[in-house]
Chains A and B, each alone.
Chain A
Amino acid sequence: MHKHRRKPSNKSDETISNSTCSSAVIQLFRNFALELEEKQDRYERLVKIGRDITVESKRLIFFLHSHRRGTEDGENVLREGKTRLINIVKFQFSKILKELEDRDIHQYLRAFSFGVQEFIEAFSFYHFLVTETLLTFEEVKDFLECNSQIQTQTNVPSDGDSKDFDKIEPPLSSSPPKTLNTNWIVPHNHCIITMLDYVLGLNDLTGELMRYSINQVANGEIPAAFDICRFMTNLYSGMLSVSLNSREYSRKMFTVIQSVKKVEMACYTVRVRGSEMPKKLIFSVLEDENVCEDDTHF
């Protein structure tokens, strides 16, 4: 048995050493090795960029929660929020784009799509704070295009940028020249942010809105909380209207309904007991309140 084992291994060693320089097959595989390695490296780099986007987006969301409506501070928060959003696009998304030049994005999508979703969550949260409306997919695309425009035209240091930011202020109204599309849209017109990632990001948005609205109640901004509640209810019914066979989507929808219910309960509590209770107390009631987590309707 021992002899038997040794012999084959000797033989294949011989094959390797014998053919290192000559064999066409080995040459073929050498090229494969390079190609595979290149793919793997690219994938890893994209995972890393995706992670960076996630981290920065999470921090940004946390930061945005300090926003108070109608205060000087609140304005500052929004202004800085915008700068940070733009920086993510400028420094992170541009890297993704560079990696994907001439490539099929769908092959690498999984590497960074969680980052994209987190970015959409931050962006849509910011957008809601500014406009109290839903960030649309078109606005996302425009935002990407606009900021690539800044990047390619001028490399202004961050101070000088603020003017440009104002110029592009409402992403809705400014429609950038179409010639720039190639900058932001990876080969063959497929945006690096897919519609699916966009919607999944919106799913996550509801969690942030929930937290934000509860904070609003705590700060005594009762009307704001009611606005948010209405918005979330609408958003939820929109999400329900989608029939999509995706485990991720249904998993997220489960979280969405929890958040929606929590906010609805909060508004209910405020309505019922608000007249008889000091505001600080209401907050503690809300904190205690655990929304009944029975059946979920979707």
Chain B
Amino acid sequence: METIIKTFSNFQESIDSEQNTKETIKSTTKEIEEFARKMITVLQIIHQEGARDEIPTTCNRCKAILNDVKKSYAELGQLVESGLYYKFYDHWKLVTQKLCFVIALIHYLETGSLKTRAEIASTLGLKTEEKDGFHLSIEDYLFGLLMLVSELARFAVNAVTNGDYTRPIQISQFVAEINAGFRLLSLKNDGLRKRYDALKYDVKKIEEVVYDLSIRGLKSNEDAPIQESAARIVP
């Protein structure tokens, strides 16, 4: 009887201490979520008229917030003992995906290129390798990219509305590359796979915008060589 009581009281103890850790993790992730929401709201400016001139300042505002995010992630890293990353993974999974999206979007707006996983990890102060501890998981990064494409699809539409006809072309090229990349992955039947299935609709939307621009002759001339080269390669 004594062993039985002891066994279950030990178990209860371990549950309780785990619960405490969870609570602390929750409050930290809540902070991070707050930051993420703030940045996403600020970035909505890209869909508005005259956004072009606002973009650099917006990006800088977000970068300032990202510094705080990095601090919060450092706290989180302290809370989570090494080897327990995936035990509590669900707590920060979603917000990390969102941040990957935000960071990739900022990077795209500034440079027009794709931010790599390693670069995003370093922006957040995370490791890239699982064995090194608190890291940026590959799935979270890919989720972030899929979110980025959805946002860019909207951006392409709104850019046209706001009279920017070159942006959709850029986006289309950028997204085509990501799309080609995703096709190399053999995804399991899981959440990432489901989210990936939505990618084709975003790609289609962007292509429709480009199509509309080209049949109406709204595409600027500088893009013409690209079309020619495409025609050359496709048999």
A84-106 vs B, CB cutoff 8 Å, 1 = contact: the mask equals: 00000000000000000011111
B169-196 vs A, CB cutoff 8 Å, 1 = contact: the mask equals: 0000100111111111111100000000
Interface residues of B in 203-235 (CB under 8 A from A): 203-204, 207-208, 211, 230, 233-234
A109 to B84, CA, bound (A): 12
- Whether A104 contacts B177 by the Cβ 8 Å rule is no
Does B15 touch A at the CB level, under 8 Å? yes
Q: Which B residues lie within 8 Å of A239 (CB)?
A: 8
A134 to B7, CA, bound (A): 9
Interface residues of A in 227-267 (CB under 8 A from B): 234-235, 238-239, 241-244
Q: Which listed residue, B14, B85, B187, B188, touches A104 by the CB 8 Å rule?
A: B85
Q: Which B residues lie within 8 Å of A235 (CB)?
A: 4
Nearest chain A residue, comparing its CB with the CB of B215: A4
Q: Which B residues lie within 8 Å of A40 (CB)?
A: 186, 188
Q: Which B residues lie within 8 Å of A291 (CB)?
A: none
If the complex has contacts A25-B178, A28-B181, A187-B83, are A106 and B4 also in contact, measured as CB distance less than 8 A? no
A8-27 vs B, CB cutoff 8 Å, 1 = contact: the mask equals: 10111111111100011110
Q: Which listed residue, A32, A37, A238, touches B7 by the CB 8 Å rule?
A: A238
Does A35 touch B at the CB level, under 8 Å? yes
- Whether A12 contacts B7 by the Cβ 8 Å rule is no
Closest Cβ of chain B to A121, distance in Å, is: 15
If the complex has contacts A36-B138, A103-B130, are A15 and B85 also in contact, measured as CB distance less than 8 A? no
If the complex has contacts A12-B176, A188-B81, are A106 and B86 also in contact, measured as CB distance less than 8 A? yes
- Whether A25 contacts B14 by the Cβ 8 Å rule is no
Interface residues of A in 1-56 (CB under 8 A from B): 4, 7-8, 10-19, 23-26, 28-30, 32-33, 35-37, 40
Q: Which B residues lie within 8 Å of A10 (CB)?
A: 230, 234
Q: Which B residues lie within 8 Å of A186 (CB)?
A: 83
Q: Which A residues lie within 8 Å of B187 (CB)?
A: 36
Nearest chain A residue, comparing its CB with the CB of B10: A137
Does B9 touch A at the CB level, under 8 Å? yes
- Whether B180 contacts A19 by the Cβ 8 Å rule is yes
A25 to B119, CA, bound (A): 13
B137-153 vs A, CB cutoff 8 Å, 1 = contact: the mask equals: 01000100000000000
If the complex has contacts A16-B180, A106-B85, A188-B83, are A32 and B138 also in contact, measured as CB distance less than 8 A? yes
Q: Which listed residue, A11, A25, A244, touches B207 by the CB 8 Å rule?
A: A11
- Whether B233 contacts A243 by the Cβ 8 Å rule is no
- Whether B177 contacts A26 by the Cβ 8 Å rule is yes
Nearest chain B residue, comparing its CB with the CB of A43: B188
Does A168 touch B at the CB level, under 8 Å? no
Q: Which listed residue, A7, A13, A109, A238, touches B8 by the CB 8 Å rule?
A: A238
Does A189 touch B at the CB level, under 8 Å? yes
Does A199 touch B at the CB level, under 8 Å? yes
- Whether B131 contacts A29 by the Cβ 8 Å rule is no
29 residue pairs bridging A and B, Cβ less than 8 Å apart: A10-B234, A11-B176, A11-B207, A14-B234, A15-B173, A25-B181, A26-B181, A26-B184, A28-B114, A29-B181, A29-B185, A33-B184, A33-B185, A36-B185, A37-B186, A40-B188, A104-B83, A107-B89, A109-B86, A134-B4, A187-B82, A188-B84, A189-B83, A190-B83, A195-B14, A234-B4, A235-B4, A241-B5, A241-B9
